[in-house]
């Protein structure tokens, strides 16, 4: 397909994006980046981990996004006493008929909000992460395919450590994006306060169907990524693994290990989804740069030396982005 033809097709097919943003914007004031990243996760078929202090509308944003779509939504509050069966379902013995029947758990939905994912023990987290990776659930001897679109949006609170089970690096890697939420501006907070004390009920309409999302996902695979952009993505990822080869000798002792091949795939898919949101049929370097921090921040581990110098993975990614040659 010619690039101009593809551009026209994407402009037409991505019209629902503006409607979706408008609808979610009724409930969420500000936090444009967070909402954009949630939609990128949805379009690129990648799960999203939101991190921020309580009260920053993480849960509200996810609920609003789910409400604007004709899809099944389940919110699961993760607690220390949660069991895998509470999540995926279990087998129940029917005394009258003398056999077992399967009771499906809340994970059999399109949108799963895993609220405070780091509050549940490892076996519950791994049950969720298996569903995220395999897109299927096994109860007893039966395996069930999960309905598409299937998206896990998890939240975690970074300030509380007591009574939490931090996600291991290998499990955090399953999330395509890790988005950090910051406080709203003074103007935004004034609007939030006025909206919430007015007593008016905000109704979010269902404006997008599951078919719209599935069609968009197919189309995103057609978004053109030039060879120079592909090389740019590889350079960024490889600079986190072998900084010395890229002349970043000062970063060698700061990186304990770099980003995995999952990061490369996620960067390419995230950049394509970003181009789709911007109503373009091709990826530009700015798409890669815009999404890079959210895709890499949880995939680059820093050494003890870096921690001692209070250097974070974000500082390292920032340096790499500023130094790797942009095509």
- Which ranges of the chain have pLDDT less than 50? none
Question: Is 299 in contact with 291 (CB distance < 8 Å)?
Answer: no
Q: Where are the domains of the chain?
A: 44-196, 223-323
Order of strands, sheet of 73-77, starting from the edge strand that comes earlier in the sequence: 73-77, 111-115, 151-156, 48-51, 177-180
Class of domain 223-323: mainly alpha
**What is the pTM assigned to this prediction?**
0.86
Which DSSP symbol is given to 250?
G
Identical fold at 44-196 and 223-323?
Answer: no
What is the fold, at CATH topology level, of the domain defined by 44-196?
Rossmann fold (3.40.50)
DSSP code per residue over 123-167: HHHHHHHHHHHHSEEEETTEEEEPPSS-EEEEEE-SS--TT--PP
pLDDT of residue 98: 77
DSSP bridge partners of 90: 103
What are the pLDDT digits (tens) for 149-190?
A: 888 888 887 766 666 777 777 778 889 999 888 888 888 888
What are the pLDDT digits (tens) for 98-111?
A: 788 888 888 888 88
Give the dihedral sign, CA 309/313/319/325.
positive
């Amino acid at each position: 397909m010619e690039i101009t033809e593809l551009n026209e097709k994407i402009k037409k097919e991505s019209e629902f994006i503006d409607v979706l943003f408008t609808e979610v914007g009724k409930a969420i004031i500000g936090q444009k980046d967070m909402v954009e990243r949630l939609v990128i996760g949805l379009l690129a078929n990648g799960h999203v981990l939101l991190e921020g202090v309580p009260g920053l509308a993480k849960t509200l944003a996810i609920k609003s996004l789910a409400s604007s779509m004709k899809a099944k939504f389940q919110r699961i509050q993760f607690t220390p006493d949660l069991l895998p069966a509470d999540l995926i379902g279990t087998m129940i013995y029917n005394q009258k008929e003398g056999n077992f029947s399967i009771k499906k758990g809340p994970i059999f939905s399109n949108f799963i909000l895993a609220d405070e994912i780091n509050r549940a023990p490892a076996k519950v987290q791994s049950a969720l992460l298996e569903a995220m990776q395999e897109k299927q659930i096994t109860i007893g001897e039966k395996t069930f395919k999960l309905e598409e679109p299937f998206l896990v949006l998890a939240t975690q609170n970074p300030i509380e450590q007591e009574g939490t089970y931090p996600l291991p690096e290998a499990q955090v890697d399953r999330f395509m994006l890790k988005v950090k939420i910051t406080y709203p501006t003074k103007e935004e907070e004034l609007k939030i306060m006025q909206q919430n004390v007015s007593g008016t009920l905000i109704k979010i309409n269902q404006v997008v169907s599951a078919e719209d999302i599935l069609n968009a996902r197919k189309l995103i695979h057609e978004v053109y990524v030039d060879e120079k952009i592909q090389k740019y993505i590889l350079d960024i990822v490889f600079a986190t693994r072998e900084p010395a080869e890229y002349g970043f000798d000062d970063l060698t002792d700061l990186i304990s290990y770099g980003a995995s091949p999952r990061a490369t795939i996620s960067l390419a898919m995230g950049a394509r989804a970003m181009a789709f949101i911007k109503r373009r049929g091709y990826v530009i370097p700015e798409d890669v740069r815009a999404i890079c921090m959210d895709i890499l921040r949880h995939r680059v581990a820093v050494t003890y030396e870096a921690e001692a110098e209070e250097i974070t993975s974000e500082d390292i990614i920032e340096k790499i982005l500023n130094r790797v040659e942009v095509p």
